[in-house]
Amino acid sequence: YPNFNASSDASVLQSGIESKGVDEDVIIAILVKRSNEQRQKIKAVYEASSGKNLVKSLKSVLKSDLEDVALALLMPPAHFDAYLLRKATKVNQQGFTVSTLNLKNLYKQDLEEVIKDETKGDFMNALLALLSAKRDESTEVDMELARKDAKILFEAAETKGDIDVSTFIDILTTRNGPQLSKTFHHYAAVSDLKLPRALQMNLSGDIEDCLIAIVKCAWNTPAFFAEKLHNAMKGHGTCEDTLMRILVSRSEIDLQKIVEEYRAMYENTVHEDILNDTKGHYQKILLGLCGPY
């Protein structure tokens, strides 16, 4: 937000919170039009000037899904990641990229121990491999390695009776995104199946979801999240947790690219589906995060 003034925003927020009936529109306008760094400054000024905790103040006046998104926007990104992972391990077995240090500092839990307690087998091994942070973070592509990896993955998936999951875990959790993308191109040249389809045919359950997610994310990250958003809103009911997780966590990374991919992939735009699936101030805050349409 170019004309940012933390003191002014904190004062406006306080007025919106304390006004009769609470002014949700004012609260939404400030939270969605500021960067996370700016929101942290607003939070500090609000608490210094009012003597009140901003999170507690919002919790006292907001309700349900709107409250969840508003509080998520006030979390530093790493804290939000830790919150999501802890929530996931309490409810079901989903993998999220997260800062181990933040999980341990915030919740007094060691992430490796949580994964070992909550998961098992190949799925546990895949998550622990991701946690070990051995992935190449460069953008360099080794064409010979891509051809070699494609052959190894093909043999591990389609030439034996049972798929060699450890081979997939090793390659998918250590190569950088561009390298994996080139590997998938070479895989398509030696197989009649695309890699996600080969995994679907040979695996099931959590490990299938995990490896396919890694493949799709490496191939086209915005398209991966566009698909997740679409699945959260299609059919009866809406998965509010998924909407919040993606729109908040990707808002300052690649959300506009996700919105563009959504438009290219589906009949409706993400804005239209949010309008159809949500309502009220919760709808306004989600649309605000998605930007103009």
pLDDT in tens, 228-264: 999 999 877 788 889 999 999 999 999 999 999 999 9
Same domain membership, residue 94 and residue 119: yes
With beta carbons less than 8 A apart as the criterion, state whether 35 and 1 touch.
yes
- pLDDT band of residue 80 (cuts 50, 70, 90) is confident
Rounded Cα gap, residues 280 and 181, in angstroms: 41
Domain end residue (candidates: 219, 250, 265)? 219
- 72 found inside a domain: no
Q: Please tell me the predicted confidence (pLDDT) of residue 293.
A: 79
* Lowest-pLDDT choice from 38-42, 75-79, 117-121, 127-131: 75-79
Same domain membership, residue 214 and residue 151: yes
Distance separating the N- and C-terminal Cα atoms of the chain: 19
Q: Please tell me the predicted confidence (pLDDT) of residue 95.
A: 40
* Statement: residue 10 has pLDDT above 70: yes
Q: Please tell me the predicted confidence (pLDDT) of residue 107.
A: 54
- 70 found inside a domain: no
- 160 found inside a domain: yes
* Statement: residue 26 has pLDDT above 70: yes
Same domain membership, residue 281 and residue 213: no
CATH code for position 164: 1.10.220.10
Q: Please tell me the predicted confidence (pLDDT) of residue 147.
A: 96
- 1 found inside a domain: no
* Statement: residue 277 has pLDDT above 60: yes
Q: Please tell me the predicted confidence (pLDDT) of residue 98.
A: 42
- 209 found inside a domain: yes
Compare 272 and 235 and report the one with higher pLDDT.
272
- 36 found inside a domain: yes
Rounded Cα gap, residues 9 and 209, in angstroms: 42
* Lowest-pLDDT choice from 81-85, 92-96, 101-105, 127-131: 92-96
Q: Please tell me the predicted confidence (pLDDT) of residue 94.
A: 39
* Statement: residue 100 has pLDDT above 80: no
Average pLDDT over residues 68-85: 87
CA 14 centroid distance within chain: 30
Rounded Cα gap, residues 288 and 271, in angstroms: 10
Q: Please tell me the predicted confidence (pLDDT) of residue 279.
A: 92
Average pLDDT over residues 161-190: 92
Q: Convert the pLDDT of each residue in 109-154 to its tens digit.
A: 688 888 898 899 999 999 999 988 888 889 999 999 999 999 999 9
Compare 1 and 44 and report the one with higher pLDDT.
44
Domain end residue (candidates: 219, 251, 276)? 219
Average pLDDT over residues 74-82: 86
Q: Please tell me the predicted confidence (pLDDT) of residue 228.
A: 95
Same domain membership, residue 120 and residue 157: no
- 280 found inside a domain: yes
Domain end residue (candidates: 169, 192, 219)? 219
Residue 115 structural domain: 77-132
- 138 found inside a domain: no
Q: Please tell me the predicted confidence (pLDDT) of residue 103.
A: 54
- Distances in Å between the alpha carbon of 63 and those of 57, 108, 265? 12, 28, 33
Same domain membership, residue 117 and residue 147: no
Domain count, the chain: 4
